[in-house]
Structure 1
Amino acid sequence: MEKQGQRCSGLVLVPCPFQGHINPMLQLGAILHSKGFSITIAHSQFNSPNPSNHPNFTFLPIQDGQTDHDATSTDFISLITALNVNLVFPLQESLAQMIKQEEKKERITCVIYDAIMYKAEEAANHLKLQTIVLVTNSAATRLTHFTYPQLQAEGYIPPKDSMLRDLVPGLHPFRFKDLTILNFPNLEALLQLIATTIKIRTSSAIICNTVDCLEQPFLAQLKKQYQVPIFSMGPFHKIAPPSSSSLLKEDTSCITWLDKQAPKSVIYVSIGSAASIDGRELIETAWGLANSKPHFLWVIRPGSVRGLGWRELLPECFKKAVEERGCIVEWAPQKEVLAHVAVGGFWSHCGWNSILESICEGVPMICQPCFGDQRLNARYVSHVWKVGLELDNELERGEIERAIRRLMASKECEEVRQRATDLKVKVEHSIREGGSSYNSLDDLVNHILSI
Structure 2
Amino acid sequence: MANEKQRKLHAIVFPLPYQGHINPLVNLALKIASKGLAVTFVHLEFVHRKLSKAHHNKTTDVDFFSEARESGLDIRYATISDAFPLEFDRDANFPQYWDFLFRDFPAYVDEFIGKIVQSDLNSDYFLIADACYAWPGTIAAKYNLVNVVFSTEAAQVFCLVYHWDLLSENDHAPIKGNIDHVEIDYVPGAKSINTKDLMTYLADPESIVSEALYAGLYLDNKKADFILHNTVHELEFEALSALNKHQPNYAVGPTNLFKDNATNTVSKSLWPQSDCAKWLESKSPGSVLYVSFGSLVQTSKQVIEEMANGLLLSEVNFIWVVREGILDSGDTNHVLPVGFEDEINDKGLIVPWCDQIMVLSNPAVGGFLTHNGWNSTLESMWCGVPMICYPITYDQPTNAKLVVDDWKIGIRLCDYGVSVDRKVVAEKIKSFMSEKSFREEAEKVKETYQNALKNDGSSERNFDQFINDLKKKLACRIDN
CA contact (8 A) 1:179 1:373 kept: yes
Mark the CA change 1:120 to 1:70 in structure 2 (over 3 Å): closer, same or farther.
Answer: farther
Q: Structure 1 residues 41-50 or 321-330, which shifts more?
A: 41-50
Alignment partner of 1:371: what SS?
coil
Q: Structure 1 residues 320-329 or 40-49, which shifts more?
A: 40-49
Percent of matched pairs sharing the same residue: 27
Q: Map residues 176-255 of structure 1 onto 2, 5 A cutoff.
A: 176-181=195-200, 187=206, 189-197=208-216, 198-199=218-219, 200=221, 202-224=223-245, 226=246, 228-243=247-262, 244-246=265-267, 248-255=270-277
CA contact (8 A) 2:291 2:369 kept: yes
The one-letter code sitting in structure 2 at the alignment partner of 1:82 is: F
Residues 393-447 of structure 1, C-alpha deviation per residue, up to 9 Å, x if partnerless?
Answer: 42111111112112212xxx21110000011111222222332111101101112
Q: Distance in 1 between matches of 2:238 and 2:204?
A: 32
Residues 239-270 of structure 1, C-alpha deviation per residue, up to 9 Å, x if partnerless?
Answer: 24122232622523223432333322211111
CA contact (8 A) 2:233 2:459 kept: yes
Mark the CA change 1:214 to 1:262 in structure 2 (over 3 Å): closer, same or farther.
Answer: same
Residues 194-229 of structure 1, C-alpha deviation per residue, up to 9 Å, x if partnerless?
Answer: 3321233543111111111111112122223x2x21
Equivalent in the alignment of 1:101? 119
Residues 341-399 of structure 1, C-alpha deviation per residue, up to 9 Å, x if partnerless?
Answer: 22111111101111111101100000010101100000000000000011224211111
Q: Distance in 2 between matches of 1:416 and 1:112?
A: 37
Equivalent in the alignment of 2:157? 141
Residues 139-176 of structure 1, C-alpha deviation per residue, up to 9 Å, x if partnerless?
Answer: 11112124433333333443368533221242543211
CA positional deviation for 1:187: 3.8
Instruction: Kindly indicate whether residue 174 of structure 2 is the aligned counterpart of residue 158 of structure 1.
Output: yes
Equivalent in the alignment of 2:381? 359
Instruction: Kindly indicate whether residue 364 of structure 2 is the aligned counterpart of residue 342 of structure 1.
Output: yes
Instruction: Kindly indicate whether residue 308 of structure 2 is the aligned counterpart of residue 286 of structure 1.
Output: yes
Q: Structure 1 residues 357-366 or 141-150, which shifts more?
A: 141-150
Equivalent in the alignment of 1:54? 65
Q: Distance in 1 between matches of 2:293 and 2:214?
A: 28
Equivalent in the alignment of 2:430? 405
Q: Which runs of 5+ in 2 are unaligned?
A: 53-61, 70-74, 475-480
Q: Structure 1 residues 42-51 or 351-360, which shifts more?
A: 42-51
Alignment partner of 1:337: what SS?
helix
Q: Distance in 1 between matches of 2:314 and 2:465?
A: 48
TM-score between the two structures when normalised by the length of structure 2: 0.85
Q: Distance in 1 between matches of 2:126 and 2:173?
A: 38
Q: Structure 1 residues 315-324 or 357-366, which shifts more?
A: 315-324
Instruction: Kindly indicate whether residue 115 of structure 2 is the aligned counterpart of residue 115 of structure 1.
Output: no
Equivalent in the alignment of 1:324? 346
Alignment partner of 1:245: what SS?
helix
Q: Which runs of 5+ in 1 are unaligned?
A: none
Equivalent in the alignment of 1:372? 394
Mark the CA change 1:126 to 1:284 in structure 2 (over 3 Å): closer, same or farther.
Answer: same
Q: Distance in 1 between matches of 2:413 and 2:266?
A: 29
Residues 105-131 of structure 1, C-alpha deviation per residue, up to 9 Å, x if partnerless?
Answer: xx1431101112232343333222222
CA positional deviation for 1:332: 2.0
Q: Structure 1 residues 35-44 or 277-286, which shifts more?
A: 35-44
Q: Distance in 2 between matches of 1:201 and 1:427?
A: 28
CA contact (8 A) 1:181 1:187 kept: no
CA contact (8 A) 1:22 1:245 kept: no
Alignment partner of 1:286: what SS?
helix
Q: Structure 1 residues 39-48 or 323-332, which shifts more?
A: 39-48
Mark the CA change 1:53 to 1:190 in structure 2 (over 3 Å): closer, same or farther.
Answer: closer
Q: CA RMSD in A?
A: 2.6
Q: Structure 1 residues 362-371 or 167-176, which shifts more?
A: 167-176
TM-score between the two structures when normalised by the length of structure 1: 0.90
Q: Distance in 2 between matches of 1:436 and 1:126?
A: 34
Q: Distance in 1 between matches of 2:163 and 2:231?
A: 21
Equivalent in the alignment of 2:448? 426
CA contact (8 A) 1:71 1:79 kept: yes
